[in-house]
C-alpha cells in the first residue's frame, strides 16, 4: 500500500514514521511529504532512504493512505486534494475535528463510527485522547455528569521551536537572546496559556477538550471545565481529573474497568510511591492512571491523575491505529 506522511519532518511526523515501522503497518511504497524548504531531504523508513517530496508530487502518486501532521492551514488545503484521488486521510490538526461531516476517532472508544465513505478522518487533540481513554468505560457504567480537568502539558505539544526555546533557556541563554515560541520563558515556569484566548476567557485548547469530549462520547450533556497549562517537561502530558457521576461506584469497580480497558495502565499504590509520571510514560503508548480517590465534596465524585506520551498516543500512535481500523474494516486494501 502507498502511504504518505505529510509533515514528515516535524515532531509528530517523525514519530508517525517510527510508529508505522514499530507496528509493521503494510507499506509497499513510502512517500515522505513536507513543505518546500524540506523537499529533497532524506528520510529513513525501515532502513532505506526516501526523498521528501512536495504535496503536489505526492498527490500525483495517488497514495492509498496519508497521515497528516502539517498544521490546520495545510490540512484545509491539501486533505481534500488527497481525498479526491481516492486517498484516505487521517489528519492530526484541529481543522476537521468539529466538522459534522468528519469523524473524530479514538479507536478504543468509537472505531465503530468509521464507514467506507470516510476519506478524511480527524485525530483528536492530544489532551482529549488522554483524558477520554480512561473516561469512556467509566461513562458507560456510571454516566459522567461533570468533568473538571487541569492539564500540565509538555513543550513537545508546541513542536520543535518550543523544545528549542526550553533547551536554550536551560543552556543559560537570557530572554531575548534566542528565538522564543512562548511569550515568556518556559524553563522553571508554568504558563497557563495554550493556544489563543477567546472572549469567554477560555483558550482554544481548553475548548477543544469540551467540544471533542461531547463529539467522541456522543453526549453533549456532560459538563466539562478545563484549564490548560504549559510546563517545562519534554515529552508527556499530565492531567488532574475530577469526575462527578450520576450513579454510585466503588474504587474497586473503577480499577477493574481500567484494568480491562485496552490502552490503559493502572499505576496506583501510594504506599510504594507508585503513581504515573511523564518521565516514565515517555516512549510508551498507554495512558497511565493513578492517585485514585473519592471526592468527598460530592455524592458520586472521583479524583485521579492521568499521564501519557502526547506525541505517541496523543498524536502519532492514535493516527496509525485509525489507519489500522480502516484496514481491518476493509476500507484500505493491503495489496
Which distant-in-sequence residues (6+ apart) come within 8 Å of 52 by Cβ?
8, 9, 32, 33, 34, 38, 39, 40, 41, 42, 43
* Count of all residues that appear for the chain in the document: 335
- Quickly tell me which residue has 478522518 as its cell: 121
Query: Is residue 264 a contact partner of residue 133, using CB atoms and an 8 Å limit?
Result: yes
Query: Is residue 290 a contact partner of residue 266, using CB atoms and an 8 Å limit?
Result: yes
* Helices within the chain (DSSP H only): 11-22, 55-60, 72-84, 107-110, 126-142, 160-170, 204-217, 251-260, 278-281, 317-328
128: left (phi over 0), alpha (psi -120 to 50) or beta: alpha
DSSP state of 195: S
Catalytic residues: 126, 237
Query: Is residue 123 a contact partner of residue 318, using CB atoms and an 8 Å limit?
Result: yes
| Separation of alpha carbons 55 and 230, rounded Å | 32
Report which of 65, 174, 172, 168 is spatially closest to residue 121, judged by C-alpha positions: 65
Which distant-in-sequence residues (6+ apart) come within 8 Å of 28 by Cβ?
1, 2, 335
Counting Cα atoms < 13 Å in the Cβ hemisphere of 311 gives: 25
Question: Which three cell numbers, joined as nine digits, stand for 48?
Answer: 532505506
151, β-bridge pairs: 228, 239
Amino acid at each position: 500500500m502507498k502511504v504518505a506522511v505529510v509533515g514528515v519532518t516535524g515532531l509528530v511526523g517523525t514519530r508517525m514514521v517510527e510508529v508505522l515501522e514499530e507496528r509493521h503497518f503494510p507499506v509497499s511504497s513510502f512517500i515522505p511529504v513536507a513543505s518546500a524548504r524540506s523537499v529533497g531531504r532524506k528520510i529513513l523508513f525501515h532502513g532505506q532512504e526516501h526523498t521528501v517530496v512536495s504535496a503536489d508530487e505526492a498527490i500525483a502518486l495517488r497514495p492509498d493512505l496519508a497521515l497528516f501532521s502539517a498544521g490546520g492551514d495545510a490540512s484545509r488545503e491539501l486533505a481534500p486534494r488527497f481525498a479526491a484521488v481516492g486517498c484516505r486521510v487521517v489528519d492530526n490538526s484541529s481543522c476537521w475535528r468539529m466538522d459534522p461531516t468528519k469523524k473524530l476517532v479514538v479507536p478504543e472508544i468509537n472505531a465503530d463510527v468509521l464507514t467506507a465513505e470516510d476519506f478524511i478522518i480527524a485525530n483528536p487533540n492530544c489532551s482529549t485522547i488522554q483524558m477520554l481513554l480512561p473516561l469512556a468505560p467509566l461513562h458507560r457504567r456510571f454516566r459522567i455528569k461533570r468533568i473538571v480537568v487541569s492539564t500540565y502539558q509538555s513543550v513537545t505539544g508546541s513542536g520543535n521551536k518550543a523544545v528549542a526555546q526550553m533547551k536554550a533557556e536551560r543552556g543559560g541563554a537570557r530572554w531575548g537572546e534566542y528565538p522564543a515560541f512562548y511569550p515568556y520563558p518556559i524553563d522553571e515556569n508554568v504558563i497557563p496559556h495554550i493556544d489563543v484566548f477567546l472572549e469567554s476567557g477560555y483558550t482554544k485548547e481548553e475548548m477543544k477538550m469540551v467540544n471533542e469530549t461531547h463529539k467522541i462520547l456522543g453526549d453533549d450533556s456532560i459538563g466539562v471545565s478545563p484549564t490548560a497549562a504549559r510546563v517545562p517537561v519534554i515529552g508527556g502530558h499530565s492531567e488532574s481529573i475530577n469526575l462527578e457521576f450520576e450513579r454510585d461506584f466503588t474504587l474497586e469497580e473503577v480499577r477493574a474497568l481500567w484494568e480491562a480497558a485496552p490502552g490503559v495502565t493502572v499505576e496506583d499504590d501510594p504506599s510504594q510511591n507508585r503513581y504515573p509520571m511523564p518521565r516514565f510514560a515517555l516512549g510508551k503508548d498507554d495512558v497511565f492512571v493513578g492517585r485514585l480517590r473519592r471526592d468527598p465534596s460530592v455524592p458520586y465524585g472521583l479524583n485521579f491523575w492521568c499521564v501519557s506520551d502526547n506525541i505517541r498516543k496523543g498524536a502519532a500512535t492514535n493516527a496509525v491505529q485509525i489507519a489500522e481500523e480502516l484496514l481491518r474494516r476493509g476500507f484500505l486494501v493491503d495489496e
